[in-house]
Amino acid sequence: MAGGARLGRAASAEIGTGNLVGPGETRIATATMRTVQPPDSSDTWVGLTAGPLPVAPAYDWAVLPSCGAVVLFSGTVRDHAVDEGGVLRTDVVHLDYEAYEEQCTTVFSKIVDELRTRWPDTGRVALLHRLGRIELGESSVIAVVSAPHRPEAFEAARYAIDALKASAPIWKHETWHDGDAGAGSGWGTNAHEPVDPASVATVASPDHQADDPADDPADDPTAVASGREH
């Protein structure tokens, strides 16, 4: 995640008060964080939470009659990572995440604004990130996008998670099987300075076709022969 520089004190009205000064300096007051809930009258849902992410509810919320595609990306905690010494370790026990909370929700909103500029027919967008301790296999972040057609939904969801990772001031900390000893025990593994969401590139969907059944690659025998999945 982004966030190489140390940042000032922040508090988020959306998830409660935090006393974060920088990665690892003062812990977030996770007890004050509320479970994120979908908005009542908005097509954008962004937030941070200390609790499990609402993966299935976020998918259900994104479904709209006008949208024929919903793409949900869930980033889950894996058991391996490259430490700060450049060594691939396979003994990750769990992750901890901290964030500059107030700035994060602003950045998330900027990402969604940019996404809707690039894909104006987008239906609903959810960007939700979990903070605190997260166990192996649990979701740390989800990006959900609904759109009229699948190419736009795939592209927009890819942009959403790429922009979040590049732009949001969020830090992660791996805990290894042998504890915090050794290289890679500090906060911010692979950290970098946050960038403007508008500078994050779009990755085009490989099967971005015209909305014409005759142009559907599923009907193209060469596409099937090339091993493309639809």
Residue 132's domain comprises 10-225
Q: Is residue 2 part of a domain?
A: no
Structure confidence by residue, pLDDT tens digits, 11-61: 233 333 233 333 444 333 333 356 688 999 999 999 999 999 999 999 999
Asked whether the CA dihedral 136, 186, 55, 151 is positive or negative, the reply is: negative
Q: Is residue 4 part of a domain?
A: no
Of the two residues 131 and 10, the one the predictor is more confident about is: 131
Q: Is residue 173 part of a domain?
A: yes
Structure confidence by residue, pLDDT tens digits, 112-160: 999 999 999 999 999 999 999 999 999 999 999 999 999 999 999 999 9
Structurally, the chain folds into a number of domains equal to 1
Q: What pTM, to 2 d.p., does this model score? A: 0.74
**How far is residue 224 CA from its own chain's centroid?**
32
Are 157 and 202 in contact by the 8 Å Cβ rule? The answer is no
Question: What whole-number distance in Å separates Cα of residue 205 and Cα of residue 55?
Answer: 23
Structure confidence at residue 187 (pLDDT):
54
Question: What whole-number distance in Å separates Cα of residue 228 and Cα of residue 230?
Answer: 7
Q: Is residue 130 part of a domain?
A: yes
* DSSP structure string for 77-91: --S-EE-TTS-EES-
Q: Is residue 3 part of a domain?
A: no
- Candidates 100, 96, 106, 98; CA nearest to 9 is 100
Q: Is residue 27 part of a domain?
A: yes
Q: Copy the structure tokens of residue 56.
A: 């299935």
CB atoms < 10 A from the CB of 164, how many?
Answer: 26
Question: What whole-number distance in Å separates Cα of residue 3 and Cα of residue 67?
Answer: 35
Question: What whole-number distance in Å separates Cα of residue 49 and Cα of residue 28?
Answer: 11
User: What CATH number corresponds to the domain at position 145?
Assistant: 3.90.1170.40
- Candidates 152, 160, 148; CA nearest to 45 is 160
Q: Is residue 1 part of a domain?
A: no
User: Which residues in 174-192 are b (16+ Cβ under 10 Å) and which e?
Assistant: bebeeeeeeebbebbbebe
